[in-house]
Amino acid sequence: MIPVQAGADDAAEVNFNVYTGRRLVEGVDDVVPTSAQLGLEPPRFCGACGRRMIVQISPDGWWAKCSRHGVFDSIGLGRR
């Protein structure tokens, strides 16, 4: 699973599934695609706000951009 998307100094709480965009509910398991479980699928939705992100995939990794929370990438799985 993708770690909590965080800002420079503080961690943002993940409220949405980054693969489906559905709100996370405690005690209810959300389906995670097999390719995501294997680390082959980049996140498609922002974990903080649930908005669809712009995703670019290349042979050496990926980056995803949320209009509200910035750019995240596969290099270090952090913020750019």
How big is the CA angle at 50 (ends 48 and 53), to the nearest 5 degrees? 100
Instruction: Provide the pLDDT for residue 6.
Output: 44
User: Taking the model in full, what pTM does it have?
Assistant: 0.72
User: Is the pLDDT confidence value at 1 over 60?
Assistant: no
Whole-number pLDDT of residue 32: 82
pLDDT tens profile 4-51: 444 443 455 778 989 888 898 888 877 788 888 887 889 999 999 999
